[in-house]
Amino acid sequence: MAQAVAAKDEQLDRWAVIWDWITTSDHKKIGLLYFWTSLTFFFVGGLLALGVRSQLAVPNSTMISPDVYNQFFTMHALVMIFLALMPMSVAFFNYIIPLQIGARDVAFPRLNSFSYWVYLFGGLLLCSGFLFGEAPDIGWTGYTSLSSAQYTPGMSGDFYVMGLQVLGISSLAGGLNFFVTIVNMRAPGMSLMRMPIFVWMSLITFVLIMLAFPSLTVALFALMMDRNFDTVFFSASDGSVVMWQHLFWIFGHPEVYILILPAFGIISEVLPTFSRKPLFGYSFVVFSGIAIAFLGFGVWVHHMFTVGMGPIPNMVFSTTTMLIAIPTGVKILNWVATLWGGSIRLTTAMLFATAFVGMFTIGGISGVMHAAVPIDYWQHDTYFVVAHLHYVLFGGTMFGLIAGTYYWFPKMFGRYMSESIGRVHFWLTLIGFNLTFFPMHFLGVDGMPRRIYTYPSDYGYELWNMVATIGAYLLGLGMALMVYNLIKSIRSGEPASADPWDGRTIEWTTTSPPAKHNFDHTPQIRARDDFWDQKYNRKGEAETTPAEEHIHLPPGSYIPLLVALGLMLMGAGVIFTLWLSVIGGIVVTVGLFAWAFEPND
């Protein structure tokens, strides 16, 4: 009898824990939700990539059907960009930014929870196309007329449009929320030029999100109207087919910087910490980040050189694209100079961060090659572009995010990740990555088009395709090892202190993992790299405000989840039947009123 009661209690406890995670407005818990969800989606995207690579391993392969192949490469891109890389950056925004600026939470905790649930439901909506055998199959760029109702009549185009539209709401809400958080919630003394560089790069990312996503919203809305409500925005006879490309890339190019800037920020934290030197040229890194973001809005036509807009636009955008290499190069030199003369500790985080510099430089250089119009005519839509973008997004963004994972794991879980497994993970990943993507340069130069289902055997593509496929499996193995390392280290990793790496920024002043309220005292910032300054220049005099008797934290709420669910229903309604949209609209409206009047102070 007593046992039954205990079991019931345990069950109740479990429900309480689940309810707590569902309703949480704690930035750290939301960060972890983002982390695990994006990691899951990363493996979904990875499996899709292995499907693509398996099909391409040998010529004339018919392992999977062409239709499925189209769905695989389209969904691989969408899942990786919108459901894995961006949200994994958001995981670090959530967990780390409030700690680095000395805040107790974000400016709008319920909106933060809303962002997460919209991301999850939007991701499920986007992926649910597979359940109907009609996942998006039009390339992640969704070019019209291919994506118009005439040529993609089924649900697949609608999954693309509505999935991305819902996800865009999540990004925008998150971007606005964190922008306000950084601008408004810094600890006393933390002027802009004393902010940790990760916070700076994130701040720039949020401005990009705020200003670039509206273009995608408009483009997706117009495509939705074209597909379902007879408008003629992108009709070849009445509207403009190229309009889609402009709108998409006005969003799409800043999106590239939205993906890479957080990784820039992460490695700008990792490299100084493990070199025991301040970041070389802090203000250069900051202002080159701003320059990249600014120029990033003026280069979108380099994705469209072959559209035929004539020499003048091509020349202008070729120039701006080459210009953007300057601030990027400045950053690379700063990182190298940070390593110069430092007492370097090659931890796994540091290995990934240094590999980032090398891999990203390769991707950056092939990017500058595309900027030259005549060369781009040759390389456009070939595997050379695939090689370039993976060097930037995997060798860049993903390496940065992995470095961040190893670096901040002790703060998040109070334990170290295993360094020995980490090393194997690193070498498998680095070798697998280069085996996969470096041969694609050769394939591209030899003229192998991207997004093709298969290739004949006498074109000389066999060798490098086979090498790339083998590399992809190695890469998959490496990433699986990372998950093993994560799980193993959470369970039985070596316990970590509050400051396991001899860190520089104030997230290392609080316990690992941090208490719910982050800091017992509000930190007082006296210098850039304040914690380092406190340890070595001010000789350990921790300066804080007097102890606070009452630390106010907002309660959790289930309403963000409800509104997010309504939004997903609204999106699903356009795909299936508009009645769902009506129900979703009612849920959203009621939810928003409940949100506005919910006592939350």
Partner 1 sequence: MTSADHHTGHAEHATTTGITHNKMMMWSFLASDCMFFGTLIMMYMVYRPDMAELGGVGPNDLLDIPFSSLMTFVLLMSSLAFVLGLSALQRGNHAGMRVWLSATAILGLLFLGGEGFEYMKFYNEGLSLGTNVFGTAYFVTTGFHKLHVLIGVIWLLGLVAMSYRGQIGVHQSEKVEIAGLYWHFVDIVWIVIFTFIFLVPYR
* Catalytic residue list: 76, 105, 140, 170-171, 253, 255, 257, 268, 302-303, 328, 331, 450
Where does residue 249 fall: left (phi above 0), alpha (psi -120 to 50 degrees), or beta otherwise? Answer: alpha
Picking from 164, 4, 149, 188, the residue whose alpha carbon sits closest to that of residue 77 is 164
| Cβ at position 184, least distance to partner 1 in Å | 4
Nearest CB to partner 1, comparing residues 186 and 370? 186
- What type of residue sits at position 463? L
Nearest CB to partner 1, comparing residues 83 and 195? 195
214 touches partner 1 (CB under 8 A): yes
| Cβ at position 190, least distance to partner 1 in Å | 8
| Cβ at position 9, least distance to partner 1 in Å | 36
180 touches partner 1 (CB under 8 A): yes
Question: One symbol per residue from 548 to 577: x for binding partner 1 (CB under 8 A), - otherwise; what is it?
Answer: x---x-------------------------
Nearest CB to partner 1, comparing residues 242 and 498? 242
Q: CA distances (Å), 504 to each of 89, 411, 501, 575, in order?
A: 21, 13, 9, 50
47 touches partner 1 (CB under 8 A): no
H or E segment to which residue 521 belongs: none
199 touches partner 1 (CB under 8 A): no
What 8-state DSSP symbol labels residue 523?
Answer: B
3-state secondary structure of 324: helix
- Burial zone of 59 (CB within 10 Å; 0-12 exposed, 13-18 middle, 19+ buried): middle
Nearest CB to partner 1, comparing residues 363 and 556? 556
- Provide the token pair at 224: 């939705």
166 touches partner 1 (CB under 8 A): no
Looking at the DSSP bridge assignments, the partners of residue 523 are 544
- Member of 186, 227, 303, 504 binding partner 1 (CB under 8 A): 186
Distance CA 105, CA 115 (A): 15
221 touches partner 1 (CB under 8 A): yes
Q: Which stretch binds partner 1 (CB under 8 A): 69-77, 218-226, 558-566, 577-585?
A: 218-226
64 touches partner 1 (CB under 8 A): no
Q: Which stretch binds partner 1 (CB under 8 A): 89-97, 211-219, 363-371, 421-429?
A: 211-219
Nearest CB to partner 1, comparing residues 157 and 414? 157
Question: One symbol per residue from 73 to 112: x for binding partner 1 (CB under 8 A), - otherwise; what is it?
Answer: ------------------------------xx--xx----
Percentages helix, strand, coil for the chain, rounded to the nearest 5? 70, 0, 30
Q: CA distances (Å), 318 to each of 17, 248, 327, 374, in order?
A: 54, 18, 16, 10
Count H helices and E strands in the chain, helices first.
19, 0
Nearest CB to partner 1, comparing residues 59 and 214? 214
Q: Which stretch binds partner 1 (CB under 8 A): 64-72, 125-133, 214-222, 568-576?
A: 214-222
527 touches partner 1 (CB under 8 A): no
* Count of positions on this chain that bind partner 1 (CB under 8 A): 46
- Range 536-544, long-range pairs (CB < 8 A, 24+ positions): 542/509, 544/519, 544/520
| Cβ at position 296, least distance to partner 1 in Å | 14
Phi, psi of 372 (to 5 degrees): -80, 120
Q: Which residue has the tokens 């925005």?
A: 233
Nearest CB to partner 1, comparing residues 106 and 389? 106
Q: Which stretch binds partner 1 (CB under 8 A): 9-17, 215-223, 284-292, 402-410?
A: 215-223
Nearest CB to partner 1, comparing residues 459 and 593? 593
| Cβ at position 590, least distance to partner 1 in Å | 13
Distance CA 597, CA 595 (A): 6
User: How large is the angle between the packed helices 559-575 and 578-597, nearest 10 degrees?
Assistant: 160
Question: One symbol per residue from 236 to 265: x for binding partner 1 (CB under 8 A), - otherwise; what is it?
Answer: --xxx--x---x--x---------------
- Member of 22, 50, 176, 332 binding partner 1 (CB under 8 A): 176
3-state secondary structure of 233: coil
Three-class DSSP labels, 104-167: CCCCCHHHHHHHHHHHHHHHHHHHHHHHHCCCCCCCCCCCCCCCCCCCCCCCHHHHHHHHHHHH
Residues that bind partner 1 (CB under 8 A): 103-104, 107-108, 172, 175-177, 179-180, 183-186, 188-190, 210-215, 217-219, 221-222, 225, 229-233, 238-240, 243, 247, 250, 522, 545, 548, 552, 596, 601
